[in-house]
Amino acid sequence: MKKTATMSKLIIIGIVSMLLCSGMASVSAIFTDLYAGRDQRVVGDVHARRSGHLFLITYETDSGWSLEETHLAVANSFDEIPQTKKGNPKIGKFPYQAVHEEGTEIYTYVLNLYDYFPDGNWRGNTLYIAAHSVVTHPEFGEETAWADTWGKYFPGNSIALYFTFTF
């Protein structure tokens, strides 16, 4: 009985995964790792989720790490994210930025989906998200960090990452 229930769950997870990959289903939330430095140490995560017409992006660090700064770019296409001609992100040009008090572990940006989809039709559409932060740790010091889900690097020669969210 238990084996059948487990197998049924695996089949359902497989079907949902195929639908998501094919674009036949949409998600309302995703979780990404927040990678710091060239060694890509996981220092927390970034949660992206929809709530009605709002799109919330939350940075959350793991124990011992804290946020000094966050920078966020969200766009309808990858090319709309501020970048140099060589494909490196221009973090200083990201539309959303914040400097945080010492010890900040969680920070959320709240965006209006109508700013990206004025007709209100976001279902089946994709947003490109570059979520950068400066993080600190008492033992490891200061690092730059990027959120990522599937190993999507900016085309330049940096460690910059991005991810997508399909509604």
Q: For the chain, give every domain's residue range.
A: 26-166
Q: What is the CA radius of gyration of the chain?
A: 17
What is the per-residue pLDDT across 38-60, written as a single tens digit (0 to 9) for each? Answer: 888 999 999 999 999 999 999 99
* CATH number of this structure's domain 26-166, picked from the four choices 1.10.3470, 2.40.50, 2.60.40, 2.20.28: 2.60.40
- Mean of pLDDT values over 83-104: 97
Tell me if 81 sits within 8 A of 128, measured CB to CB: yes
Tokens representing 157? 């020669």
Mean pLDDT of the chain: 87
Residue 27's pLDDT band, with cuts at 50, 70 and 90, is low
Three-class secondary structure of residue 143 per DSSP? strand
- Mean of pLDDT values over 133-155: 93
